[in-house]
Structure 1
């Protein structure tokens, strides 16, 4: 990653210890943006070994790679299900890097629940019934945390008289929800609604807000069965890499995307 000119922009990227989040953090840093990489180490017991190792990693390796290329970055572990986490993350970013003006809501508390649970789905991943616990765990990270992070960005942005900002959220699901991952799909739908509301309500602050719906992305959980499914699907065109998705997200944070706001952008 070549050295690039430093900008005054500071990004907060959640779930930045692996996958799309790590790729976005590195791509932003390559454009001169300082990045706070937040993460929560998890066991990922439902996933493949590669995915489990990725989710259980800290954020230090991503930060070190950014710094070795001449960028600025810091990492902080945080449980986004804690309502106090958003304010603490913004405080940390301001202390180490400066005021945040780019927010990437990437982290997920992914859990696979269903109204008609079976022992496993078509890819061999275990299913469980929808319960208060699965709902709470999913919505706390994928809906509540993004809403509170957007609110924190808005409050601080307005208080310091800032006139430029970018919000990008990530979503998933389809026209019929997300069968087999119903709470995940519903929480992502809630995050989408929050983000589109932000596009309308924060436009006067120079903030754009968009949602990206990535294609199936190889963040370590892809199996041969998944690749076969994508290849035979009429609606899934590619198994993308995290870097490919990151390039689209980073474009939305650029000056060139100043008129792109209030959109759900589907990548295929």
Structure 2
């Protein structure tokens, strides 16, 4: 459908089967993309089974446990991906750090923990991807960042998370302008509240009336949009923040 056969995609933050990262891996693999994903703190058996399930699409798959808070991680990660599968043409920055804070609890460590993964890890990985892409002579490059709709309304009790995710949106716009001459598009996706296993029944009942399309978001919703943005069909789209939330209404 999307003419992606044979490309290599690097997706970060794929640590369990119910997440957006796993859904993105499945969707891209179904389109013929070779998959390399990162995980952190995951069950080893699950990682092996997930790799096997991706290979059942007829593509290659590799993975690496990596802490993106390590400043050297982006460079080591790209070395491993290239050695195992070849130069990636698609980068999906899905990994994120999130913890509750609020003004009474926010401190330097909380800020630093969010910054290290959400900003520095994603930013360094993006620019190193671009530097290597310019030498790989590939025809198409895609960077797709995951963000959280922090510009659409307040996120109470999540000051560090909202601030660092907001920086991703600003980075997306400016990086897209720098990389356009290389043929790399840079976009961001805000999937809205998504049921990845963290929602209990009480939260679901509270959120459901706010989705004007009548259901709560699922990981496959984000994955479909990411697959489109990764494709040749989206070659004219760059520097955009896509708020794909099923009409989520912030009252």
Q: Normalization by structure 2: what TM-score? A: 0.89
Residues 1:155 and 2:131 are matched in the alignment? yes
The total of aligned residue pairs comes to 241
Q: Which of 219, 227, 246 in structure 1 is aligned with 2:204?
A: 227
Counterpart position of 2:248: none
- Report the RMSD for the aligned CA atoms in angstroms: 2.2
Counterpart position of 2:117: 141
Distance 2:81 2:206 in 1: 41
Instruction: Name the CA shift for 1:226/1:175 in 2 (closer, same or farther; >3 Å).
Output: same
Distance 1:266 1:5 in 2: 25
Q: Report deviation, 1:135.
A: 0.6
- Structure 1 residues 52-86: Cα deviation after superposition (integer angstroms, max 9, x where no partner): x8xx9853222110112322110100000001000
Distance 2:158 2:3 in 1: 42
Give unpaired runs (5+ residues) of structure 2: 246-251
Q: Between the two structures, name the one with larger relative contact order (CA 8 Å, sep ≥ 6).
A: 2
- Structure 1 residues 130-177: Cα deviation after superposition (integer angstroms, max 9, x where no partner): 111111111111111110011111110112333310011111124444
Q: Report deviation, 1:195.
A: 1.6
Instruction: Name the CA shift for 1:226/1:94 in 2 (closer, same or farther; >3 Å).
Output: same
Counterpart position of 2:244: 267
Q: Which deviates more, 173-182 or 249-258? A: 173-182
Give unpaired runs (5+ residues) of structure 1: 43-52, 117-128
Which runs of structure 2 are paired with 1:44-123 in the superposition (5 Å)? 59-116=47-104
Distance 1:223 1:205 in 2: 45
Instruction: Name the CA shift for 1:6/1:163 in 2 (closer, same or farther; >3 Å).
Output: closer
Instruction: Name the CA shift for 1:153/1:175 in 2 (closer, same or farther; >3 Å).
Output: same
Distance 1:164 1:14 in 2: 20
Q: Check conservation: 1:166, 1:208, Cα contact below 8 A.
A: yes
Residues 1:14 and 2:2 are matched in the alignment? no
Q: Which deviates more, 230-239 or 6-15? A: 230-239
Q: Report deviation, 1:233.
A: 3.0
- Structure 1 residues 18-43: Cα deviation after superposition (integer angstroms, max 9, x where no partner): 2000110111111111111101117x
